[in-house]
Chain A
């Protein structure tokens, strides 16, 4: 006879409750949207769904209630551990703030369509799944679940040319990078005979010097996966799409996408490299990919920060700044390949991502607040004299700029501190020094924004106050300051995050 089908307990279904609720909620809303004429309610219901999911994710992370056991779920496809929970929280908070800052922008640019919020929820679900993937096929599917809604969102302002171009570029390069990822997965599968990260790690560790074919398949596969995910997180030299896409997409979409795509991309990066391929036998201790990632990190830091200096448009400036910040997280990733540092590097990456998510969404939200209805008014000249007209807006922007620079008492400083500490632990001092130097360079263009707001005179014409956007700004600014002033919040959250395989 047939074996008994697995029960809910066998599958450990409840461990995946936040992402299940979010995707079901979005699916129901997709149909219900047809019958809701006032799109305010679609936004409100989306926010409610994200909120419910966030509450459960917080319970899971804080061990307050026993919702699903930690460990694998769905026959080893899904991994529920502290790393997953933290990624869930960051992705869900990004989604909630993304919805808050979008509503009025969409209304005043005549874009108030319900599917906007639903696509936003689906891509948040994709980012959450990327953090909990324990199987290469899951990584691929969740990456697409993250990306495809973002392609649509960046083009949602059609027939405006900028938006369409941005969607087109994002789509073509995104699909191009996915095919690298799939081919990499195929080669790793060829070497290991399994798509399960737990089984791949065993093969990768026991592979011997003689099995040249398997070793090279694994190496090339890991390389192609790095290319594929490198595109998603905008690491140099795979960053070409970033400035154009970020500048052309509607500003709230840019805000959301710049943080959630990085969260998802880096979560998958950490899962694949630190959990699945910590060692690719090359006779030595360190994984071969550490050197590659060091080079990527150094290039990303230098290019992102240096090109950002020359930018005149704020969205483009923040796009290059987001490339630069990918570089800092790549430092943590490179450190993760050094034996014994894997967990603390993963924690550093999580802290950095959390700090970055708050700060970056906030910075883009300020740009959304000052942007005019015809999507102009986002240049360096347009913020001159903003401090006189809208002191609170200018104050919030200053907080975000200081946090992106990494000035103490802001979240950005905590993130940089963790990353540089992980790099020192791993013995990657040159990279840590480069990180500090490029932070100093970055101060130049971030402070110039603050300078323009406070010490230049100009007649900034700013759209009216927008209450939901303001509440999003209050949350992000408060989050940036609180995470910076009370670093133990993040420390407690990520303390148990580990990428070692649970057995």
Chain B
């Protein structure tokens, strides 16, 4: 039988930090609006992972509740964000952020 030992909190936080950094790099390096948006979702979900891990550690429900709010807000952001991306695509036939260059100075 496999011995089931609890996973240390540090590992969860480390994983969430790695995901957060990956998300940040994705936002900074990607040029496609949808992929940038997915990277942002990755950052939000890394925060969710950290929140539930800490909530288990402190044995409180606050962290879990916060996760639900984050998920809900992320859904609201998706609704607005995708609508914007569709609107931009209709006008420009492109969703690359390199094509957003109306302004200068």
Contact = CB atoms under 8 A, between A and B. Distances in A.
Interface in A233-250: 243-244, 247-248
Interface in A119-155: 136-137, 140-141, 144, 148, 151-152, 155
Interface string B47-66: 11011011101101011011
B73 A144 contact: yes
Contact of A311 (B40, B77, B87, B105): B105
B73 A140 contact: yes
B36 A172 contact: yes
A243 B34 CA distance: 23
Contact of A185 (B47, B53, B77): B47
Contacts of B36: 172
Given A137-B66, A171-B81, A182 B47 contact: yes
A442 to B, nearest CB: 18
Contacts of B57: 190
Contact of B102 (A141, A144, A155, A248): A248
A175 B27 CA distance: 11
Contacts of A244: 102-103
A169 interface: yes
B33 interface: yes
A159 B84 CA distance: 11
Contacts of B48: 186
B43 A179 contact: yes
Nearest to A177: B40
Contacts of A185: 47, 51, 66
A325 B92 CA distance: 35
Contact of B47 (A152, A171, A183, A248): A183
A194 B60 contact: yes
B41 to A, nearest CB: 8
Interface in B87-105: 87-88, 90-92, 97, 100, 102-103, 105
Contacts of A144: 73, 76-77
Contact of B100 (A168, A178, A190, A193): A168
Contact of B91 (A161, A193, A194, A248): A161
Given A182-B47, A311-B105, A155 B84 contact: yes
Contacts of A186: 16, 47-48, 50-51, 54, 63, 66
Interface string A158-185: 1101101101110110011011101101
B99 to A, nearest CB: 9
A167 B73 contact: no
Given A195-B62, A243-B105, A158 B50 contact: no
Contacts of A137: 62, 65-66, 69
A148 B100 contact: no
B62 A183 contact: no
B49 to A, nearest CB: 8
B87 A155 contact: yes
Contacts of A152: 80
Most buried by B among A148, A162, A190, A311: A190
A232 interface: no
Nearest to A138: B69
A40 interface: no
Contact of B80 (A151, A182, A190): A151
A384 interface: no
A215 interface: no
A243 B47 contact: no
Nearest to B45: A179
A182 B70 CA distance: 8
A411 interface: no
A140 B105 contact: no
B13 interface: yes
B88 A164 contact: yes
A189 interface: yes
B91 A175 contact: no
A108 to B, nearest CB: 22
Contacts of A262: none
A141 B73 CA distance: 7
Contact of A176 (B27, B63, B69): B27
Contacts of B77: 144, 148, 171, 175, 178
Given A168-B88, A175-B37, 10 more contacts: A137-B65, A155-B84, A158-B87, A162-B102, A165-B100, A168-B97, A172-B33, A172-B37, A176-B43, A180-B43
19 contacts: A136-B66, A137-B62, A137-B66, A161-B91, A165-B100, A165-B102, A168-B85, A175-B81, A176-B27, A178-B44, A179-B40, A183-B46, A186-B54, A187-B50, A189-B63, A193-B60, A194-B58, A247-B103, A316-B105
Interface of B: 13, 16, 20, 23, 27, 33, 36-37, 40, 43-44, 46-48, 50-51, 53-55, 57-58, 60, 62-63, 65-66, 69-70, 73, 76-77, 80-81, 84-85, 87-88, 90-92, 97, 100, 102-103, 105
